[in-house]
Structure 1
Amino acid sequence: MNEEDALSALAALAHPTRLATFRLLVRHEPQGLVTGQLVEAMGLSQSTLSTHLAVLVKAGLVQSEKSGRNFIQRAQIDRLRALMLFLARDCCEGRADLCEPLFADLAVC
């Protein structure tokens, strides 16, 4: 991941609705959620959710897949991993002592 990709992902997640949507999709991996389920769970209109999903898709954080008459929305876990690693590597500048507590906390999750 490069700086431009990281900024795009962070900007997409900087909105409360998009962050909540992405978090919900992460919890439903790997099966994802049908768009209608996501609309219902988020309490949004179809058009409002579509606008937010478009931003997440453009940032590479969500993928929409057609399945019959439905669209399944899935969080792109590899993209999340890349963002987290980019931040950790970039911010820690290779100093394991700075990042070790972060990785230890993640291991407990």
Structure 2
Amino acid sequence: MNLTNDDIVARKLTALAHPVRLAAIRRLATAGPDGVAAGKLAERLDMAPSALTFHLQKLAAAGLVESRREGQFVYYRAVFDALLALTDHLVGACCSESENDCGPRCPSSRCE
């Protein structure tokens, strides 16, 4: 089965479609490229580590987070390229077919 770009984006958005996963991805994004230990992330999100692991696995399956093991700890980090590609897919062509500028945050070069 060949997936279209829209199919891939839909899978990523489905993975994000939960408040815990949105909160986790925001925390991981603020942690930067080194990520954060799963236990510390669970602490910051005020939830059980086992429940958080379920959500992190959903995000990892969608390619939005990655993990690495260091001794007894598992660290998770946001996959920034995937997150930025997702937002670019959604709004990267904003106002490209319009004569009007859509605003100062428009990523389209003609709107700068």
Q: Same fold (TM over 0.5)?
A: yes
Count of aligned pairs: 103
Structure 2 residue 90 is the aligned partner of structure 1 residue 95? no
**Structure 2: which amino acid aligns with 1:5?**
I
Tell me the SS of whatever aligns to 1:102: coil
* TM-score, L = length of structure 2: 0.80
Shift of 1:69: 1.9
User: RMSD in angstroms over aligned alpha carbons?
Assistant: 2.2
1:64 to 60, 64, 67: 67
Structure 2 residue 53 is the aligned partner of structure 1 residue 50? yes
> Which has more radius of gyration?
2
Q: Which has the higher contact order (CA 8 A, sep 6+)?
A: 1
Distance 1:86 1:99, change over 3 A: farther
Instruction: Tell me what 1:32 maps to.
Output: 35
Tell me the SS of whatever aligns to 1:65: strand
Runs of 4+ in 1 over 2 A off after TM superposition: 92-104
Which sections of structure 1, spanning at least 5 residues, go unmatched? 105-109
Residues in 2 aligned to 1:80 and 1:88: alpha-carbon distance in whole angstroms: 13
* TM-score, L = length of structure 1: 0.82
**Identity in percent:** 37
Tell me the SS of whatever aligns to 1:101: coil
Instruction: Tell me what 2:21 maps to.
Output: 18
Instruction: Tell me what 2:11 maps to.
Output: 8
Larger helix proportion of the pair: 1
